[in-house]
Structure 1
Amino acid sequence: MKISEIISPESVRLDLTSSSKTSLLQAISEIAATELGIGASEILLALTNREKLGSTGIGQGIAIPHAPVPGVERPFFLIIRLKKPIDFEAVDDAPVDIVCLLLTPVQGSQLNMLAHLARKLRSPEIVGAIRSSSSPEEVYSLLVDDGAM
């Protein structure tokens, strides 16, 4: 599967404001719920349960909250650039300003998609371009220039 199959320019949100990890997870759950037609509380519960296993803050200002969610029929992706970084309990303790939400069907495997996202976001050039992009279309273009997941 290619990332272009699960992302569109509408999947990119720039300069979202959030004061904490908890409020961010609530906000992205509500965005996803509106897009998917699923209850925000179900999404938030899945994300919160995943975070209890360990932070999805992978370091260098990036977090990839992810979870299988009942009712999700195909992978769902959002990328959010925060206006101001927040504490996300990341592995390197750095505040997070780039958040990639990945929701998948309960029966589906998200490992290939997560690995692909993590590889892409290890590129300082791509991350720098995301941080300096002026439009969702620019971020979208950076992410879809890829191979299969």
Structure 2
Amino acid sequence: MMALSDLLPDDGVNSDLAVSSRKQALQALSEIAAKYAPVKARDILERVLERERLGSTGVGHGVAIPHARIDGIDRVYGVFARLRNPVDFDAVDAKPVDLIFMLLAPESSNAEHLKALARVSRLLRREDMRERLRSAPDEDALIAVLGGEVDTDAA
């Protein structure tokens, strides 16, 4: 099974993203993702905001998993940011968000998109994982935490 770190490009992680709103966070992550996905940041942001309008991707415990299917990309990509200051994300538990894992999938990819989404969700639901992500000192440590996750399917 693929590790989450396989979805993340080398520079696809930010350990100290300074933003003051959900839209700014999504914009910053879209710009990071556009370095790797062959799509403009504006197009990524538009699709992700479209998805947010259906319902917040703030899943609780300070975590958001914004996602979208986008024409023009050939595989699932992820980018991750830990925010310097939590922002209101209209999350299900009404708590502000400081950990954001954005997923982008090819327009035609249903199963792959849903598998990646389920995997990220399962991982970030774990309190120990959220604590490790919040206490990681830098990007390299975040990548190590995200890459060393236990395969919960086999456990």
Q: TM-score, normalised by structure 1?
A: 0.93
Distance (Å, rounded) in 2 between the aligned partners of 1:70 and 1:38: 8
1:129 paired with 2:132, answer yes
The one-character-per-residue Cα deviations of 1:56-107 (angstroms, maximum 9, x if unpaired) are 0000000000000111111111110000000000000000000001000001
SS in 2 for 1:134: coil
Look up the match of 1:147: 151
- What's the C-alpha RMSD, in Å, of the aligned pairs? 1.6
In terms of mean alpha carbon deviation, does 126-135 or 35-44 score higher?
A: 35-44
Distance (Å, rounded) in 1 between the aligned partners of 2:56 and 2:141: 28
Q: Are 1:8 and 1:140, in contact at CA under 8 Å, matched by a contact in 2?
A: no
Q: TM-score, normalised by structure 2?
A: 0.89
Q: Are 1:56 and 1:63, in contact at CA under 8 Å, matched by a contact in 2?
A: yes
SS in 2 for 1:26: helix
Structure 1: gaps (5+ residues): none
Structure 2: gaps (5+ residues): none
Distance (Å, rounded) in 2 between the aligned partners of 1:59 and 1:77: 19
The one-character-per-residue Cα deviations of 1:22-61 (angstroms, maximum 9, x if unpaired) are 1111111122112223111211111011001100000000
Tell me the number of residue pairs that the alignment of Structure 1 and Structure 2 aligns: 149
Look up the match of 1:90: 91
Look up the match of 1:12: 13
